[in-house]
Amino acid sequence: MKHIYEQGTDKTAPVLLLLHGTGGTEQDLLGIAKHIDAEASILSVRGNVLENGMPRFFRRLAEGVFDIEDLKLRTEELNKFIDQAAQQYGFDRSKVVAIGYSNGANIAASLMFHYQDALMGAILHHPMVPLRGLQLPDLSGKEVFIAAGENDPICPPQETKELAELLEGAGASLELLWERYGHQLSRSEIEAAKGWYNKTYKSNS
């Protein structure tokens, strides 16, 4: 998978896995990641699927209607890629925290839905429920921050609430932030994510 890896100066920090939104690239979230933790290593990945020339992490049949078989396939593909990257770059596979926006947040949630140890935690900006009817793994000890828009036209609030309930039901610790900026990635939610990250991963170091 096309990607960028940047070695951080803090070997004890989580490795930040960056997952862009539809039409984005592996460059999109670098500034946000460095704002959240300037010392962490970064693995930023470009989605392998194209929709009208726009990179995505999995196919969809229509707006808000996911191609579930492709989602499962691409989730497995991404998980294996992270495994390979950990070996290639020598980072701790058990300390990966995803930062995903929109489509990227959905594939990050899907990683947690399918694989108990894929992620140590996740910052999910405007995610939806990736798929339903799945028995989630035990996510005890996993930390998740979700930022959502009360008036998001692409991701209805009910989707966010259901995702939060599913993750908490599987044992994850969860913080949920509501804003009123639609589907856009706002400065204030990035600041809130940074505050959550510092509290979760920096306070004990």
- Please say if 138 is a catalytic residue: no
DSSP string covering 74-121: HHHHHHHHHHHHHHHHT--GGGEEEEEETHHHHHHHHHHHH-TTS-SE
Nearest 5°: the CA angle 75, 198, 203 is: 120
170, two tokens: 């599987």
Annotated catalytic residue: which of 41, 102, 110, 126? Answer: 102
- Please say if 102 is a catalytic residue: yes
- Among residues 37, 35, 19, the alpha carbon closest in space to that of 27 is found at 19
**How many other CB atoms are found less than 10 A from the CB of residue 192?**
17
**How many other CB atoms are found less than 10 A from the CB of residue 70?**
16
Annotated catalytic residue: which of 20, 28, 37, 152? Answer: 152
- Please say if 186 is a catalytic residue: no
Q: Would you please indicate which residues are annotated as catalytic (active-site) residues?
A: 102, 152, 183
